[in-house]
Amino acid sequence: MPCPYSNNGIHMSMNSFSGVESHFELQSQSMRTRIRILLCFLALSASGTAFALHAFASPQTAAPANPPAAQQKKPAAPAAQAAPKPKTTLAPVPAEPQDGPTNPDAELQATVQQAGNDRAALIRNLEGYLVKYPDSPRRAAIYHALLESEMQVQNQKRALDYADQILAMTPDDSQTLYVAATLLEKMPDNASQDRAIGYDTHLMELVAKADPESRSPQMTLEDWQTGRNKFTMDLYVLRGKIERHLHKTNEAVKDLNEGFRLLPNVEAALNLGEIAEERKDADEAVRQYAVAFMLAGQQDPNENTVSREALRLEMGNLWRHSHDSNAGLGDVWVTAYDKARALAKADSPEAPAYNKGLTDPFQYSLRHVDGSPAVKMADARGKTVVLDFWTTWCSYCRITEAALSEVRKKFAGHDDVVFLAVNKDEDESQVSLFLKEKQFEGTLVYADGLDSLLKVESIPTIIILDHAGKVAYRAQGFVPDNFPEALSGAITQASSSSQ
């Protein structure tokens, strides 16, 4: 199911200010996506200040103007409470009587509205408000708005200052921890990098302690676990990159490999390749770059920031330096492709296992491609069975089908001979689409494990089973011109030996 939080869900406190639209992008699409994953995974805003969605509640529910010190230090909402949906507009706060004191909430709302969509003006107005009301109970919401706005105007240093202010009030504010870590990671000094590792590690601890029961009612346990793995992967990769910058190479390799283990990703493979290159291990660098290249081809183009062309040139250059030619590079590519494909398959839901544990072909039931009742191989016991293993992507299979059509016509009316066209596509959704354009005759069924039992490793493969289920004939690959005659002779021989 889709995440219950939309992109708007990652807009921070600005949506709580009446009359102001937020277009905060957190620097990049990838950061926005990562924070959305975090929001979907953790039941944040536990602190009531995490996103300040009720910055302007009505007077009956608003915090008092001068709350006790204990209330300022500790958020009111319990830690496991899920974040409320953001509200783009809230009811205006009634103004106090003309002869009474100024209403700070009304003044704050007017301050925000005066700035319109001008972020620089909003920053000036909110900072001025804090000078006037340094102990405002809305301070956390204002800091969130200032953090967002400073990032919008590309002032990362000031954004980091406000992130620090938020974390001083609410150290477990997960969204701000992540934003602060990513901002510090871009800083050139080691002190900032060390602080980034501290924030990243603290966030890992929060993720590890998160209770699945605190998830949104709209989120399944499987979605919650997937979100946790994705965000934990991102935290390991981020920490690995920072450790690499600090020349803590062994720690970096460990974290990057752990991130890749949790969820295969381009960034981890790319960094591992660069580390291998720095260590003068050209072959390992090429292997990691090849995996990154293949994974990048599977990503959403909006999320992919890696130049596959640059990676291709780098791999070729490294390989030629260590091997004096491109010979062997193709094998590395094929291995990387197989690895990326296997990883993608492993990340997909496990396919159902049909006929598991059976060792006799005549015990198998094979699903009809058209969804009609399965073919029970037991009904063919005592007969000669011709199995044609094919896939939608195999061009030779179409030539074989034409030859088989001739053979099927020759044995029409022979009740003791059964022809089955056995499809072994991994993606079964392609089969029905293929059959709308290409005509295959005979009884079409899925392999359902029969290909593994008979060790079918290349396509096309033709197998004849005798009356006892033993292989009486096998042909694979491109069919020769005399194939119809050879197959017909093999069928006749298998049939006669069973009588």
Q: What span, in angstroms and rounded, lies between the C-alpha atoms of 466 and 381?
A: 9
Q: What are phi and psi of 462, to 5 degrees?
A: -110, 125
List the structure tokens of 356: 């598991």
Residue 371 counted as domain residue = yes
List the structure tokens of 79: 């830690």
Query: Per residue of the chain (499 residues), what is the pLDDT tens digit?
Result: 334 333 333 333 333 333 333 333 344 445 544 544 444 444 333 333 333 333 433 333 333 334 333 334 433 333 333 333 333 333 344 444 444 446 888 889 898 888 888 889 999 999 999 999 999 998 999 999 999 899 888 898 999 999 999 999 999 988 899 999 999 998 889 999 999 999 999 999 998 888 888 888 888 888 888 888 888 999 999 999 999 999 999 999 999 999 998 888 899 999 999 999 999 998 999 999 988 888 887 766 666 677 888 888 888 888 888 888 888 888 888 887 777 767 666 655 556 778 888 999 999 999 999 888 899 999 999 999 999 999 888 878 888 888 888 899 999 888 899 999 999 988 787 888 888 877 788 889 999 999 999 999 888 899 999 988 899 999 887 767 788 898 999 999 888 875 5
Residue 146 counted as domain residue = yes
Question: pTM for the complete prediction?
Answer: 0.57
The string of pLDDT tens digits covering residues 122-176 is: 999 999 999 999 999 989 999 999 998 998 888 989 999 999 999 999 999 888 9
CA distances from 286 to 247, 280, 303, 326 (A): 21, 11, 23, 12
**CB of 150 closer than 8 Å to CB of 136:** no
Q: Which of 159, 182, 214 is the last residue of a domain?
A: 214
Q: If we measure between CA atoms, which residue out of 328, 287, 327 comes closest to residue 311? A: 287
Give residues with Cβ within 8 angstroms of 325, minimum separation 6.
none
Range of the domain at 91: 7-214
- In single-letter form, the type of residue at position 252 comes to A
Q: What single string gives the DSSP state of each residue in 108-171?
A: HHHHHHHHTT-HHHHHHHHHHHHHH-TT-TTHHHHHHHHHHHHHHTT-HHHHHHHHHHHHHH-T
Residue 349 counted as domain residue = no
pLDDT at 103: 85
Q: What are phi and psi of 221, to 5 degrees?
A: -60, -40
SS3 348: coil
Name the DSSP letter for residue 8: G
Torsion angle of the four alpha carbons 80, 82, 87, 93, in this order, in degrees rounded to the nearest 10: -30
Chain CA centroid to CA 320, Å: 34
Residue 252 counted as domain residue = no
List the structure tokens of 409: 């016509």
> What is the number of structural domains in the chain?
2
Q: Which of 163, 192, 214 is the last residue of a domain?
A: 214
For position 366, which CATH number holds? Answer: 3.40.30.10
Residue 267 counted as domain residue = no
Residue 471 counted as domain residue = yes
Residue 197 counted as domain residue = yes
Residue 294 counted as domain residue = no
Q: What span, in angstroms and rounded, lies between the C-alpha atoms of 229 and 3?
A: 15
Q: Which of 171, 191, 214 is the last residue of a domain?
A: 214
